[in-house]
Amino acid sequence: MRKLFFLTFWGFLITIAPQTLLANEKSALEISEDEFVIGNKDAPITIIEYASMSCSHCASFHNNTLPDIKKEYIDTGKVRMVFRDYPFNYPALLGSMMMRCIASDLRYDYMNALYKLQNTWVNKDPKISKKELYKIMQSGGMTKDEFNECYSNLDNENLILDGVMAAQKDFNIKSTPSFIVNGNLVEGNKNIKEFRQIIDKILSE
């Protein structure tokens, strides 16, 4: 049922103009207190990442580029990083929901672990995705009951889908990963050299 709803949702989303969505909602540039954020809140640069947890390009960014960004810019107080869900399919939605059930101080490590293990749990068969994802979450200490409770949390699912619509409305996101760097859209995976150019240019202004 959830898979059918998710596919129906995406069919609805791509058939209507982004500007018609969430006309009365707050801007996607606003960062709420309950969002997944790392870095100094007063950093001069804010990067918002929109990612699908089943996306290989997103995994490449998290595995190969994000560690350098964190070391060079986030840990030094220059960049605040906001991670937002933009699931393109059912496994990605499931992975995003699991991340919302992890303690905030462990979420970064869990997220990157799921990207590293992406090939083991992202599968076109939803039953396999659920089964393999549970194995990973269980290895980190999540019980079966906790997993099922998280899986059944419709409030978290709705928050994720609301976020997708807000991103469509404000930025017309078409692919993942996409980044909003101080309000400007940067599409597609970038290596550390490209991010250095973008970040250093802003810091020098």
Q: Does residue 140 lie within any of the structural domains? A: yes
pLDDT (tens digit, 9 = 90+) per residue, 108-165? 999 999 999 999 999 999 999 999 999 999 988 999 999 999 999 999 999 999 899 8
28 domain residue, yes or no: no
Name residue, tokens 């107080």: 77
pLDDT in tens, 182-193: 999 999 999 999
**Cα(205)–Cα(200) distance, rounded to whole angstroms?**
9
Give residue 6's Cα distance to chain centre. 17
**Domain assignment of residue 86, yes or no:** yes
Q: What is the pLDDT of residue 26?
A: 65
- In the sheet that holds 184-187, the strands lie side by side as 36-38, 79-85, 45-51, 178-181, 184-187
Q: Residue 136: which domain range?
A: 43-204
From CA 63, how far away is CA 74, in angstroms rounded? 16
Per DSSP, the chain holds a count of helices (H) and strands (E) of: 10, 5
Region of 98 on the Ramachandran plot (φ > 0 left; ψ -120 to 50 alpha; else beta)? alpha
Q: Indicate whether 174 belongs to any domain.
A: yes
Q: What is the CATH number of the domain that holds 104?
A: 3.40.30.10
**Six-digit token pair at 179?**
């980044």
Residue 100 structure tokens: 């919302």
Burial class (CB in 10 A: 0-12, 13-18, 19+), 175: middle
In a domain, 20, yes or no: no
Query: Contact 50/176 with Cβ under 8 angstroms?
Result: yes
Task: Look at residue 155 and tell me if it is in a domain.
Answer: yes
Residue 175 domain-assigned?
A: yes
pLDDT in tens, 42-54: 999 999 999 999 9
In a domain, 17, yes or no: no
Q: Which spans in the chain are helix H?
A: 2-13, 56-60, 66-69, 90-99, 104-116, 118-121, 126-139, 144-151, 154-171, 192-204
Number of structural domains found in the chain = 1
